Amino acid sequence: MDRMLSEQIGRWSMQQKSERPSRPYRPVITISRSYGAGGAELALFLGERIDFPVWDRELVRAIAEERGGDERLMATLDERRRSQVDETVRSLILGMDQTNHKYFRSLMRIVRTLSQHGSSIIVGRGANFAVSPERALRVRVDAPIEWRAARIAHRNGWQLEKARREVVRKDAERTDFVRHHFKGDVADASNYDLTVNPEYLSLSRIADMVQLAYEGRFAQAPVPAPVLV
């Protein structure tokens, strides 16, 4: 299974980027983010700049492909936990064999295989807890809730209070996901190598900071590529 998944990850990666000369192994970058802080935007901007494929929604697609399930169903499990009652109803009454546990198991296999291949950016999903710290620069993007709510309201054309409720809800889901599966705290700065607040910083400036942190971490002592078996 690990060999097959490793080969599949290679194919997925090639679908995301053009053919290029081979290059040495480079550790991944994980980007944890509070809802509305712009972590996904940072990942895309940085990925374009340093030529790393970005794995965000692509992780859901990859899990659906690995499990032979519906991508829309996988999305209902993405960074959230369904209650045990909901799990039982879906499994027994609807005949759905896609549970929290199976989703998470597939997610971890894919994230860890990505870390073995390197040269990728992985967004959310507790990846900073799943990947060895020696093989990843772990970034956290966070900002005050009112600033994030204002961004969401502007983006979606919502009233500010509705956006604020959505921010609170999504933050709670992601916090619960990490706490349940990793026994971790998304707000604990010790779980990251770099924490940034985008309230007064441009994407370009934040990307500069991430690049400097990455080069400072790995340029002097390159991480050897793991053996893919």
Element (H, E) at 28: strand 28-33
Answer yes or no: is pLDDT of 36 > 80: yes
Query: pLDDT of 59-87, one tens digit each?
Result: 878 777 765 655 555 555 655 554 443 44
In the chain the domains, ranked by start, together with CATH numbers, are 31-80+106-215 (3.40.50.300)
CB 127, CB 30: distance < 8 Å: yes
| Residue 225 confidence class, pLDDT cut points 50, 70, 90 | low
